[in-house]
Amino acid sequence: MSLEVMYERCAGIDVHQRFVVVCLIVAEGGKRHQEIRTFRHETAGLLALRTWLLQEGCTHVGMESTGVYWMPVYRRLEGFFELIVANAQHIKAVPGRKTDVQDAEWIASLLQHGLVNPSFVPSQEQQDLRDLTRLRVSLVRERARLVNRVHKALEEAGIKLATVLSDIMGLSGRAILQALCEGESDPERLAKRVHPGVQASQEQIVTALTGEMREHHRFLLRELLSLIAVQDRAIEHLEEEIEHHLHPFEEQIMRCEQINGVSRHVLYVLMAEVGTDLQRFPDAEHLSSWAGVCPGQKESAGKRLSGKCKKGNRYVREVLVQAAHGVRRSRTYLGERYRRLKKRRGSKRAALAIGHDILVIYCRMMKTGQEYQEKGVEFFQQKDRSKVEHLLVRRLEHMGYQLTRPSQPVA
């Protein structure tokens, strides 16, 4: 059985850091001809690749999404050919290919018969925004690691600042840390720097600040605080640049901020990773599947097997789970739904389910331009009441009673 040829002139590219291997396939008049060439992965080599493909009349080009190495190739060929970037996991599912030449041949053969599923490739503007948001995520994580090192240095000195302050890098915490770096060691004088709004008593604060702070610990604190200050400035600069990129979408941002648990930082990531034009996704379900926040499908012989989610976009998934944890104690629809799911499925699955709900709400609001409608906890209360009524009516009817429903519901 022969497969139908979808593209008569197409090429497959196996991308590497230093070079690319290209397999050009020409199928005309019932004959099939292929040619393989290798080009350097510099600008001159990629321009020579583009010139060769144009001379041969190539129309479609396929490649794997190999790290970041495919991006320069894509940008040099964009606008000249129909480009298809495929998930490397899908292409490598078939074993037996052991060389770069065979990789290029395999990609070209799959592309020729239309068997390569294209991946979502963002525009250059969206890619720039992704670079900014992803760098911000990395800096925030690095700052958290530095704060943990400050915790460690204080614990080694016997100072239990974290037991009386919820955030040691807050207003009171920074004042105490600055005094420690300057050589102050008296717990009484250190306790006077605490803001009056702190819930801990003066005695508890003095006890927590009693320790043995050596010059070694002060040196560590000074270095760590200086590094944290650098991280704070870099994060602030990144947020200003992100705001500049997203200024045309300020109206959509303010509208989507109404979603419970969704902050501007969450929307930064969503707009950078998913985009602001969601028409490329047929519906919210396709978007959830792409992001990897919906249950997987695995069924055999009529039995439902593992429903594990696929990897998807880890940045979207992480920020949605963070937003879900932010609403778990709120008296809102999403908060009540989280608590109900947690009882049955656990906290992790509940957070992922709420993240899925937030993404669906975001998708529909961006597509339709509607405002967020908060259902409230009353939605579940009414739902529970209807369910209980139905069960009680069925019980009484099963026991032989005949019931007549009132025309007006009883308060």
What does the pLDDT profile of the chain (411 residues) look like in tens digits? Answer: 456 778 888 999 988 889 999 999 988 777 888 889 999 999 999 999 999 999 989 999 998 887 888 889 999 999 899 998 887 766 665 455 556 677 787 888 888 777 777 777 888 889 999 999 999 999 999 999 999 999 999 999 889 988 899 889 999 999 999 999 998 888 889 888 988 888 888 889 899 998 888 999 999 999 999 999 999 999 999 999 999 999 999 999 999 999 988 999 999 999 999 988 888 888 888 888 888 888 777 666 667 776 677 778 899 999 999 999 999 888 888 998 999 899 988 999 899 999 999 999 999 999 888 889 888 877 777 777 777 777 888 888 888 888 776 665 554
**Predicted TM-score (pTM) of this structure:** 0.78
The CA distance from 357 to 321, in Å, is 11
Beta pairing, strands 19-28 & 82-86 = unpaired
The CA distance from 144 to 403, in Å, is 63
The CA distance from 296 to 289, in Å, is 8
Find, among 171, 141, 358, 148, the residue nearest to 257 by Cα. 358
The CA distance from 364 to 168, in Å, is 40
Find, among 384, 382, 391, 383, the residue nearest to 411 by Cα. 382
Within 13 Å and on the Cβ side, how many CA atoms surround 248? Answer: 5
φ, ψ for residue 16 (rounded to 5)? -130, 175
Task: Enter the tokens of residue 326.
Answer: 């932010």
Place of tokens 């998913």: 274
3-state secondary structure of 236: helix
Which DSSP string corresponds to 114-165?
A: T--PBPP---HHHHHHHHHHHHHHHHHHHHHHHHHHHHHHHHHTT--GGGT-
Contact 164, 200 (CB under 8 A): yes
pLDDT digits (tens, 9 = 90+) for 301-319: 667 776 677 778 899 999 9
Polymer length in residues for the chain: 411
Q: Which residues are 13's β-sheet partners?
A: 22, 63
Find, among 268, 273, 286, the residue nearest to 313 by Cα. 273
Burial of 369 (0-12, 13-18, 19+ CB in 10 A): exposed
Q: Which value, in Å, is the radius of gyration of the alpha carbons in the chain?
A: 29
Which DSSP string corresponds to 324-393?
A: HHHTTTSSSHHHHHHHHHHHHH-HHHHHHHHHHHHHHHHHHHHHH-PPP----THHHHHHHHHHHHHHHH
